[in-house]
Amino acid sequence: MSEKEIAIQLKNVSKKFALFKSENARLKAMLLRKKPEKEKIALNNVSLEIPRGESVALFGRNGAGKSTLLKMITGVIYPTVGYVRVNGRVSALLELSAGFDPELTGRENIYFRGQIMGVSKAEIRELEGEIIDFAELGDYMDQPVRTYSSGMRARLGFAINASIRPDILIVDEALSVGDKIFRKKCNAKVREVLNNGTTFLFVTHSLASAKSFCKRGVVMRHGQIVYDGDIDSAADFYDRMRIES
Amino acid sequence: MKQKFSEKRKIWRDYARAIFLNYISGHPKLNATTYPAYFQQELGISDSHSYAKKMIRQGYLAWQEDDCVALTERGQAAIAEDYMRFFDFASPYVTIYDFLDERERMEEDTSFEATMLSLLLKQMKVRKAEGDDQSVKNIHFDIGALYEGLGYQEDALHHYLMTLYYDISGMEYYDLLVAYVAKKVSRGEAQESFDGVCVEPRVMEGLLRLKEVCTPAMLDKAFGSETIRVNLCSRKDFNALVEDIFNGAYEYDTWMDRFRANFAAMLSYYAKKKR
């Protein structure tokens, strides 16, 4: 399949983390080129293809490998083995309140964060009004972010990441930020983004949320994909897995 | 014949350029384009903006209206189909140098599929000799996909069955079993470390697509035809599992319980041998 049609491709991807008893042990192993005593296999031979425009829910218990998978897709970490290919601009709604310069104002942080995400100044200028309206921070927009509450940071983070016209949108339970009215707004915003043909990867423990946004579900366990199918079947599979555990 | 260093540099340059130009043809607005990270990780293109400008200077791309670029004739010619197919196939087991070397070596059929099949079968022998069961399994799947693409359904199914055979072997527990036999872990620790086996969804999908061509003889041929260091699955279990998959009756938890019991039986067997 050509890279024009696939938004996210993982092929035979494994990720191993070396575990050491102490930092000294880590340094010693590095200098003496010794194998670590223990290895944690966070992802084990994962292969996955997500075509452009598809909306996929990613299920799994804590420690299943979901976060490692997301970090690979967003480019934070690289695989030990295998290929990870992501085509398009990725916007990840993860840890929304992180990644701001606390001394800059909310408005300045829109440019700061946008540029980190590879968006041109001209494009940010076009989107600035939309982001400010969405965040609903009023006069605080021109105050330093260090004066914001965590909820305010999360609102600004969501407004920026959801507005930059991503090709791929990744959401990790971030739709529970803010009060009920803001959450409704966030859900509507995500739907608007999806209607534009954006590829969507949604990590959630909420089966209802997953079914409302996604057509396909992938279930992970112990660093492997154990189920991949339509959302209803995937949700049932995950639900049975949870109950029997 | 293996390429010299200078030839390899040219091959790499041509290959990276083909992938890049193909990407740009779908994302012509240079200033608004977000270049994928794999350009750097896999192709060594550390500055994609500069590389794009270099492509323009060298005549592979040309400016159009609205800050867009388009492939020139030279650019179109640079996107060799086999490079794209090789890239899309994404096998971690063969390099583009291996591919071109093998194609040169082959006399009759130098198609992409024939070349990849020849290469992957050779790689499988190498990995088997190294005891790298995981890679052998992955190569079986890739070979199955190639055969399926060519319409050779029985051959494809055979390789998907082999992939399943490896999937449920419990090969990932080989080191644990060795540690148990060497008395480095207790029986309880070994049993607790068992996390089940994973039948990859893509393997099941492959089997389901080709279930109409499956015969009992094919199942017999697949089971036990290759030596794996660990095998949690009896012939009876293997056949029953395939039947469940074909009938849509595969239940993850039921089969994990069965494999867990098989693992416990294996530990008992080794415990008796140790005495």
Contact (CB, 8 A) for A190 and A162: yes
Same domain, B140 and B268: yes
Same domain, B93 and B175: no
Same domain, B73 and B95: no
Strand partners, A201: A56, A170
Contact (CB, 8 A) for A138 and A161: no
- Whether the CA torsion B67, B68, B71, B75 is positive or negative: it is positive
For every residue of A5-74, DSSP letters joined together read TEEEEEEEEEEEEEE-SSHHHHHHHHHHTPPPSEEEEEEEEEEEEEETT-EEEEE--TTSSHHHHHHHHT
Tens of pLDDT along A118-135?
788 888 999 999 999 988
Q: Chain A contact for B1, CB < 8 A?
A: no
Q: Chain B contact for A240, CB < 8 A?
A: yes
Which of chain B's residues have a Cβ under 8 Å away from the Cβ of A118? 34
Same domain, B158 and B268: yes
Q: Quick one: DSSP state of residue B68?
A: B
pLDDT bin (cut points 50, 70, 90) of residue B2 is low
Q: Chain A contact for B253, CB < 8 A?
A: yes
Taking only residues 4 to 33 of chain B, the set having a beta carbon closer than 8 angstroms to any beta carbon of chain A reads 22-23, 26, 31-32
The pLDDT value given to residue A38: 76
Same domain, B157 and B255: yes
The pLDDT value given to residue A21: 78
Min Cα distance A216 → chain B (Å) is: 13
Contact (CB, 8 A) for B94 and B116: yes
- Whether the CA torsion A81, A82, A88, A90 is positive or negative: it is negative
pLDDT bin (cut points 50, 70, 90) of residue A1 is very low
What does the pLDDT average to over B211-237? Answer: 92
Q: ipTM value of the model?
A: 0.89
- Contact criterion met (CB < 8 Å) for A221 and B134: no
The pLDDT value given to residue A3: 46
Taking only residues 31 to 90 of chain A, the set having a beta carbon closer than 8 angstroms to any beta carbon of chain B reads 44-45, 47, 75, 78, 81-90
The pLDDT value given to residue B235: 94
- Rounded-to-integer distance, Cα B61 and Cα B73, Å: 9
- Rounded-to-integer distance, Cα A88 and Cα A6, Å: 10
CATH number at residue B50: 1.10.10
Q: Of A194, A219, A190, which Cα lies nearest the Cα of A204?
A: A219
Taking only residues 112 to 171 of chain B, the set having a beta carbon closer than 8 angstroms to any beta carbon of chain A reads 134, 138
Domain A6-88+204-244 has CATH 3.40.50.300: yes
- Tokens encoding B32: 């608004």
Nearest to A83 among B32, B90, B200 (CB): B90
Q: Which residues, 6 or more positions from A203, have their beta carbon under 8 angstroms from its beta carbon?
A: A57, A58, A66, A70, A170, A171, A172, A173
- Rounded-to-integer distance, Cα B267 and Cα B242, Å: 25
Same domain, B91 and B39: no
> Which amino acid type is present at position B150?
L
Least confident range of A176-180, B103-107, B198-202: A176-180
Q: Of B34, B28, B32, B35, which Cα lies nearest the Cα of B65?
A: B28
Q: Which residue has the higher pLDDT, B110 or A139?
A: A139
Min Cα distance B58 → chain A (Å) is: 24
pLDDT bin (cut points 50, 70, 90) of residue A245 is low
Number of domains composing chain B: 3
Tens of pLDDT along B91-141?
999 999 999 999 988 877 789 999 999 999 999 999 999 999 999 999 999
Taking only residues 152 to 171 of chain A, the set having a beta carbon closer than 8 angstroms to any beta carbon of chain B reads 167
The pLDDT value given to residue A2: 46
- Tokens encoding B264: 């416990």
Same domain, B149 and B89: no
Q: Chain B contact for A115, CB < 8 A?
A: no
- Contact criterion met (CB < 8 Å) for B26 and A4: yes
For every residue of A138-179, DSSP letters joined together read GGGGGSBGGGS-HHHHHHHHHHHHHHS--SEEEEESGGG-S-
- Contact criterion met (CB < 8 Å) for A88 and B196: no
Q: Which residues, 6 or more positions from A31, have their beta carbon under 8 angstroms from its beta carbon?
A: none
Nearest to B201 among A12, A222, A227 (CB): A227
Q: A with B: how many residue pairs have Cβ under 8 Å apart?
A: 76
Tens of pLDDT along A8-32?
999 999 999 887 778 887 888 888 8
Residue numbers of the domain that contains B247:
133-274
Q: Spell out the domain ranges in chain A.
A: 6-88+204-244, 101-164
Q: Chain B contact for A236, CB < 8 A?
A: no
The pLDDT value given to residue A234: 96
Tens of pLDDT along A182-218?
788 888 888 888 888 999 999 988 899 899 999 999 9
Q: Which residue has the higher pLDDT, B20 or A242?
A: B20
The pLDDT value given to residue A154: 83
Tens of pLDDT along A67-107?
999 999 988 899 999 999 999 888 887 766 667 888 999 99
Same domain, B150 and B208: yes
The pLDDT value given to residue A178: 67
State chain A's mean pLDDT as an integer.
87
- Contact criterion met (CB < 8 Å) for A45 and B196: no
Q: Of B76, B125, B115, B67, which Cα lies nearest the Cα of B95?
A: B115
What does the pLDDT average to over A163-182? Answer: 79
- Contact criterion met (CB < 8 Å) for B36 and A86: yes
